Amino acid sequence: MDERAPVVVVRPAPDVQELPLVYDSPHSGNDFPADMNAAVPVSVLRRNEDAFVDALFGHVTALGAVLVKATFPRTYCDANRSEQDVDPGVLDGDWDLPAAPSEKLIRRGAGVVPVKVHGITDIYDRRLTAKEVKYRLDTCWRPYHRAVETELDRLYESYGGVWHINCHSTRARGNKTDPDGEADRADFILGNWDGTTCSAEFLALVEDFLSARGCSVDVNWPMKGVELVRRYSDPGANRHSLQIELNRKNYMDEARIEKNEHYAVTEALLADMNAVIANYVKSRSQV
Ligand SMILES: [Zn+2]
């Protein structure tokens, strides 16, 4: 692990009214640790990265929100998985923690320590050891979750409610290992785990805004959210988490991992969307 912190938390400046609103970007990091020892080049690993998503949401602190972002790559450790999403049967050495391998891990190699890129390309030409998987949980997964949970709990205590946007991007189309196959994806995919991680009102606020701006929007398909929206949400107690997936075609050249000609338009659209979200949060909480 290099010396950079695995997670960066950016809070509003002192002269900005704080809101109980937290954004997090778990997949935009690209500091590749020296101990990763992958069999494929960084250019291939970065296909799994939600490149530029932390930058696209960088303005939210000016609205009063907190932004939490990972600096470690998603292929090294995926903070949007349960820490139990491990298959001890494929590790060298004994795994002495609880394990509950998900269908995503078994079918696509996409557990808390991924072993495939996009369900197809093997990341390693060796077996991972139990020791290195534990090390990645200790140095990446736990600090990241501690940061998200701390911010959500702190704001909830102060304001009696908290809203959380879990930020991602998605390929313009998947492959045969994805639930939607090779179909073209919508401009935005919103996920609240089939209605369980945020109120219908909050989901509708974001969906209606994007639709009114001419964007195509899918809800809970082909992604509905994973660990970060599930773990800290409780809509009945006024804790709301919503996953947002941006279609990468609207801001980047996926092959080159460079901003494309649509980047500025998407950044401006997100700024408008996040201002609407901030106003809503202000109206629904004791700010
Ligand atoms: Zn993501």
CA of 287 to the centre of ligand 1 (A): 30
66 occurs within a structural domain:
yes
Q: How far is Cα 278 from Cα 97, in angstroms, rounded to an integer?
A: 40
Ligand 1 center to 195 CA (angstroms): 20
Q: Which residues contact 167 (CB under 8 A, 6 or more apart)?
A: 23, 24, 25, 50, 53, 54, 56, 57, 244, 246
Give the distance (Å) from ligand 1 centre to CA of residue 99.
22
Q: Which residues pair with 173 in a beta bridge?
A: 184
Task: Tell how strand 66-70 and strand 7-10 pair up.
Answer: antiparallel
Strand partners, 243: 166, 191
CA of 53 to the centre of ligand 1 (A): 9
Alpha helices by DSSP H, listed for 213-262, are: 227-231
In a domain, 204, yes or no: yes
Task: Decide if 195 contacts 272 (C-beta within 8 A).
Answer: no
Distance 45 CA to ligand 1 centre (A): 13
Q: For the domain that residue 230 is a member of, what is the CATH number?
A: 3.40.630.40
- Predicted confidence at residue 141, as pLDDT, reads 98
Q: What angle do CA 54, 191, 229 make, to 5 degrees?
A: 65
Residue 227 falls inside a structural domain: yes
Domain range for residue 89?
7-284
Cβ(105)–Cβ(85) under 8 Å? yes
Could you tell me the two tokens for 281? 């949060």
Give the model's pLDDT for residue 287: 84
Given a contact cutoff of 8 angstroms between Cβ atoms, the answer to whether 174 and 185 are in contact is yes
Ligand 1 centroid – CA 258 distance (Å): 17
- Cα gap 151→174, rounded to integer Å: 33
- Split into its structural domains, the chain has a count of 1
Q: How far is the CA of 80 from the centre of ligand 1 (A)?
A: 8
Does some domain include residue 144?
A: yes
Q: What's the gap in Å between 244 CA and the centre of ligand 1? A: 9
| Ligand 1 centre distance from Cα of residue 49 (Å) | 7
Q: How far, in Å, is the centroid of ligand 1 from the Cα of 14?
A: 30
C-alpha 286 – ligand 1 centre gap (Å) = 31
Using a CB cutoff of 5 Å, list residues around ligand 1, an ion: 27, 50, 168
Residue at 2 is within a domain: no
**Cβ neighbours of residue 34 closer than 8 Å, sequence gap 6 or more:** 1, 2
- C-alpha 15 – ligand 1 centre gap (Å): 32
108 Cα–ligand 1 center, Å = 15
Low-confidence ranges of the chain (pLDDT < 70): 1-3
Name the E strands within the chain: 7-10, 21-25, 66-70, 116-117, 121-122, 162-170, 188-191, 217-219, 239-247, 252-253, 258-259
What kind and span of H or E run contains 134? helix 130-136
User: Measured in angstroms, how far is the CA atom of residue 189 from the centroid of ligand 1?
Assistant: 12
CA of 169 to the centre of ligand 1 (A): 6
For residue 1, tell me if it sits in a domain: no
Q: CA-CA distance, 282 to 183, in Å (whole number)?
A: 38
198 within domain boundaries: yes
**pLDDT given at position 3:** 56
27 alpha carbon – ligand 1 mean position (Å): 5
| pLDDT score recorded for residue 208 | 98
